């Protein structure tokens, strides 16, 4: 496979989105205000219960990101600083309900900003429409980043920078803070399509493109989603759950469970494209790990002394 068919497909996808955006009445397309229900009919791995460990298929990750994923332990979510992290702007639309509204300049009546709020963790995002520049490199980064928008016909195109480091899939595949995100918001009647294109010079070999559809849902009311941090695992101070290189017992588990070869589960740009299905037919089905997954060992916990912090009283 070479890059040209891919490039054509990517260009065709974006062009199709643009075509759809110009085919419907203008009024319905330029106002995104209101509540939108996620249709949840694409990319099952990114919604609901989410992916299994080491399911990397369909993502243009490089070897460094694969190592990040292999190192990741789900127990990381129990570390206090990780418990209340919302999905970043480039991941949140995967499955949450969505509410959008705009701010209007009271004098000129121009739309100064669009806002989005997602149901899961209630992250609020601002898309500036007043032409302001993106902040300098030393400005803070946030989960929703800094976004500016412009109209391309009836399609709102949004550029986002200043994202915190996060993930392209919630099983440890990293997305760096050097990433930039371009989105297209397209309304076609009561359907809103958000096309998200993630470019990450650190962890992706080519742009990661996905689309999500939402149904206009005027009866929906956003519900609160408070999050409180609770220490429920009594572990040595300073211990960070992770797997040492070569020690993750789950690498072939998901592939074997779904009776697919291991190679596609390791991810990479080639696994995004239809041609890869032919190669998959030539590969052997993965086998379950020799040891039960439950016997897997994370990195040996560092002792409090080794971490350099005083021994603590158990918090329970």
**Contact residue for another protein among 112, 256, 260, 280 (CB under 8 A):** 112
User: Residue 161 CB, nearest distance to another protein (Å)?
Assistant: 12
What DSSP state is assigned to residue 284?
P
d(CA 289, CA 25): 55
- Nearest to 170, CA basis, from 255, 270, 51, 33: 51
CB of 17 to another protein, least distance (A): 26
* Interaction between residue 137 and another protein (CB under 8 A): yes
128 binds another protein (CB under 8 A): yes
Read off the tokens for 279: 């190669």
Q: Given candidates 240, 256, 260, 262, which one binds another protein under the rule CB under 8 A?
A: 240
Strand partners, 118: 98
How far apart (Å, rounded) are the C-alpha atoms in residues 277 and 61? 18
As a dihedral over the C-alpha atoms of residue 17, residue 23, residue 27, residue 29, rounded to 10 degrees, the angle is: -10
Stretch that binds another protein, among 26-34, 138-146, 191-199, 260-268 (CB under 8 A): 138-146
Instruction: Judge contact between 212 and 38, C-beta under 8 A.
Output: yes
Site mask for another protein (CB under 8 A), range 3-42, x = bound: ----------------------------------------
Angle, vertex CA 209, rays to CA 286 and CA 136, nearest 5:
120
Cα 79 to chain centroid, rounded: 20
How many residues form the binding site for another protein (CB under 8 A)? 63
CA dihedral over 262, 265, 270, 272, signed as positive or negative? positive
The region of 38-46, 120-128, 252-260, 278-286 touching another protein under the rule CB under 8 A is 120-128
Q: Whose structure tokens read 């412009």? A: 150
* Torsion sign, CA atoms 27, 28, 30, 32: positive
Q: How far is the CB of 177 from another protein (least distance, A)?
A: 8
Binding window for another protein (CB under 8 A); candidates: 115-123, 150-158, 191-199, 208-216: 115-123
Interface stretch with another protein, choices 45-53, 91-99, 213-221, 304-312 (CB under 8 A): 304-312
Per-residue x/- marks for another protein, 47-86, CB under 8 A?
----------------xxx-xx--x----x--x-xxxxxx
Does residue 238 interact with another protein by CB under 8 A? yes
Q: Give the shortest CB-62-to-another protein separation in angstroms.
A: 8
The sign one gets for the Cα dihedral 52, 55, 58, 64 is: positive
| Contact partners, residue 313, CB within 8 Å, separation at least 6 | none
List residues binding another protein (CB under 8 A).
Answer: 63-65, 67-68, 71, 76, 79, 81-86, 103, 112-113, 115, 121-126, 128, 130, 132-133, 135-144, 146, 164-165, 174, 176-178, 201-203, 227, 237-240, 242, 244-245, 299-300, 302, 306-309
């Amino acid at each position: 496979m070479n890059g040209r068919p891919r490039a054509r497909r990517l260009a065709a996808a974006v062009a199709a989105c643009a075509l759809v955006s110009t085919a419907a009445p203008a009024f319905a397309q330029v106002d995104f205000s209101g509540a939108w229900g996620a249709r949840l009919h694409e990319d099952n791995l990114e919604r609901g219960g989410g992916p299994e460990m080491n399911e990397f298929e369909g993502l243009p990750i490089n070897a460094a990101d694969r190592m990040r994923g292999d190192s990741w332990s789900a127990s990381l979510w129990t570390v206090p600083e990780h418990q209340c992290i919302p999905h970043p702007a480039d991941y949140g639309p995967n499955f949450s309900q969505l509410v959008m509204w705009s701010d209007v300049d009271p004098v000129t009546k121009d739309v100064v900003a669009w806002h989005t709020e997602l149901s899961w963790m209630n992250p609020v995002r601002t898309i500036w429409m007043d032409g302001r520049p993106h902040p300098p490199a030393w400005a803070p980064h946030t989960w929703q980043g800094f976004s500016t928008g412009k109209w391309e016909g009836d399609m709102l195109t949004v550029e986002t920078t200043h994202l915190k480091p996060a993930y392209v899939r919630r099983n440890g595949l990293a997305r760096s803070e050097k990433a930039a995100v371009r989105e297209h918001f397209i309304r076609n009647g009561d359907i809103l399509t958000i096309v998200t294109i993630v470019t990450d010079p650190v962890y992706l070999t080519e742009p990661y493109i996905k689309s999500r559809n939402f149904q206009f849902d005027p009866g929906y009311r956003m519900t609160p989603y408070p999050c409180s941090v609770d220490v429920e695992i009594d572990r040595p101070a300073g211990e960070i759950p992770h797997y040492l290189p070569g020690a993750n017992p789950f690498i072939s588990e998901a592939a074997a469970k779904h009776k697919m070869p291991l190679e596609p589960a390791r991810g990479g740009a080639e696994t995004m494209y239809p041609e890869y299905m032919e190669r998959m037919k030539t590969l052997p089905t993965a086998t379950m790990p020799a040891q039960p997954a439950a016997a897997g060992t994370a990195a040996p916990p560092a002792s409090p002394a080794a971490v350099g912090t005083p021994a603590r009283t158990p918090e329970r």
